Amino acid sequence: MSRSGAATATIDDVEDWTQGIDTVLCDLDGVVWLAHQPIAGSVEAVAELRRSGRRVIFVTNNSAATSAQHEQALAEVGIAADGDVVSSAMAVTALVTPGTRVLVAAGPGVVEALQRAGADVVVNSGEPLTEAVDAVVVGLHRDFDYARLAVAAEAARRCARLIGTNTDSTYPTPDGLLPGGGSILAAVALASGVDPVIAGKPHLPLATLVESMLAERHDAFHPDRVLMVGDRPETDGRFAALLGCRFALVRSGVSSPAAEIDEATTVDLDVADLAEVARRLVC
């Protein structure tokens, strides 16, 4: 099957490529869980994929949590994930030079990643800054308010360097969609007049990080062996296209069963949930 153009695989097509998949890149929100409540069959699906010899790596645009928090949350639902979570917070470090003074309007995950990378982190408290910063990083955080918006926008305007963890406007929960980090980023970008650079899916910084992680195991990155599973075609589907790998769309999160697929997105597998992905791969 061609990797370009709009397409959705049929059951007859699936057998042509599934047996060559040895790595599954799995989104979290809307695929594994909804607000940390496991989607039916997802925990068992991860276990089944691993029993088949496939590696499962969790690739998330959720930048609010630290690496340990992501791993602990997965452990609490029965999924071991030590060293197997890659987030947009981790990808932000590719866009910031060590020693750079950064205003962070985001959660602990971004603070942790930037500090580990050697940045001088200033957490946005809503209080006026006493010193200039070299960049502003914006991600999902639940204490965002008008004062923090004003400080972030002014800082971004002054340094002309705005970085977003992702542009996801929403994220799925058991009770429906809530505003995502992209909504906060949009507010800061509009108020500052600065166009942001994006770290997470479907952009290059996170793709490069994933490629490097997979290359460590195989001595090279082999996109034909990789399947990206996600619930958002414009994010996860485009990320798969950037990597050059296959894309499985699940309808358990942002994309409802009746939602139409953007014609620009290639979908290799269109199924209900992660459990169905595992069933198709593990024959």
Nearest to 105 by CA among 75, 149, 69: 149
> Is residue 106 a contact partner of residue 63, using CB atoms and an 8 Å limit?
yes
Annotated active-site residue 22? The verdict is no
Q: What is the DSSP string of 66-110?
A: -HHHHHHHHHHTT---TT-EEEHHHHHGGGS-TT-EEEEES-HHH
Question: Is 29 among the residues known to form the active site?
Answer: yes
Among the listed residues 12, 13, 22, 29, the single catalytic one is 29
Query: 239 and 267 in contact (C-beta within 8 Å)?
Result: no
Nearest of 103, 185, 191, 207 to residue 139 by alpha carbon? 185
Choosing from 16, 22, 27, 145, the catalytic residue is 27
- The C-alpha atoms of residue 26 and residue 32 are separated, in whole angstroms, by 8
Angle at 9 between CA 8 and CA 10, to 5 degrees: 120
**Which residues are designated catalytic?**
27, 29
